[in-house]
Amino acid sequence: MSAKTFVALRVDCDAQTAFDRFTNDIDLWWKAGPRNRLIGNRPGIMQFGEKDGIRTLQEVDKRHPDFVVEAGKVTKWEPGTRLSFEWRWPMADANEPVTIVDIRFSGLGDYTRITLEHLGLEKLSAAHPGRNGLNDNRFKPMMTHYWQAHLVSLRNRVKMLSTLENPT
């Protein structure tokens, strides 16, 4: 049986703009704090980096740019349509499997529906540090809340930029 989280919301912009805000502005809308960031309490910059032709979701230490923590490789990069990347908790054992975060951007007139699925949660061991000791009945809702908070933050960023670009 597969386990996943699913979050959907709409943002008031076209799909390409939503994709660009998600990818280019990720450090500006991604929630702060050690529970949300890859390098914990260190001051970092969330970004999609590229090295040797491989794109990754990563966080770079602001004070020591050679210190980089990767969440995982980008598996799909379809601007304005779809983005998928591996998700590995930084504190997890290297033997733990990666999960996949799959995001779709569906333009619907003046707005875009963003859907996010975090797939493969059933592969994580009961001792996995990302579970915080929670069983499936509590872990999956926690992960849904985690991603929902991030997407709401993205929506707020899009709205703020739209207000700045089109003051009434």
CB 125 within 8 A of CB 28: no
In a domain, 15, yes or no: yes
Exposure on the CB side of residue 97, measured as CA atoms within 13 A: 10
- In the chain, the largest separation of any two C-alpha atoms, in whole Å, equals 54
- CATH number for the domain spanning 123: value is 3.30.530.20
Q: What is the DSSP letter of 98?
A: P
In a domain, 42, yes or no: no
pLDDT at 86: 94
In a domain, 52, yes or no: no
Q: Which residues does 34 contact at the CB level (< 8 Å), separation at least 6?
A: 40, 41
Alpha carbon 20 to chain centroid, angstroms: 14
In a domain, 37, yes or no: no
Instruction: Give rounded-to-5 percent helix, strand, coil for the chain.
Output: 30, 35, 35
- pLDDT tens digits along 88-142: 887 777 777 889 999 999 999 889 999 999 998 888 888 887 777 887 778 888 8
- As for how many domains the chain has, the answer is 1
Residue-wise DSSP of 19-64: HHHHHHSHHHHSPPSTTTSTTTTS-EEEEEEEETTEEEEEEEESS-
In a domain, 43, yes or no: no
Buried b (16+ CB within 10 A) or exposed e, 78-104: eebebbbbbbbbeebeeebebbbbbbb
| Gyration radius of the chain over CA positions | 16
In a domain, 87, yes or no: yes
Q: Which residue is associated with the tokens 């983005």?
A: 83
Q: Which domain holds residue 159?
A: 4-32+75-165
CA 76-82-87 angle, 5° bins: 55
Q: Which residues does 8 contact at the CB level (< 8 Å), separation at least 6?
A: 113, 114, 115, 116
Tell me the pTM: 0.90
In a domain, 50, yes or no: no
Taking all residues of the chain, what is their mean pLDDT, rounded to a whole number? 89
pLDDT at 1: 44
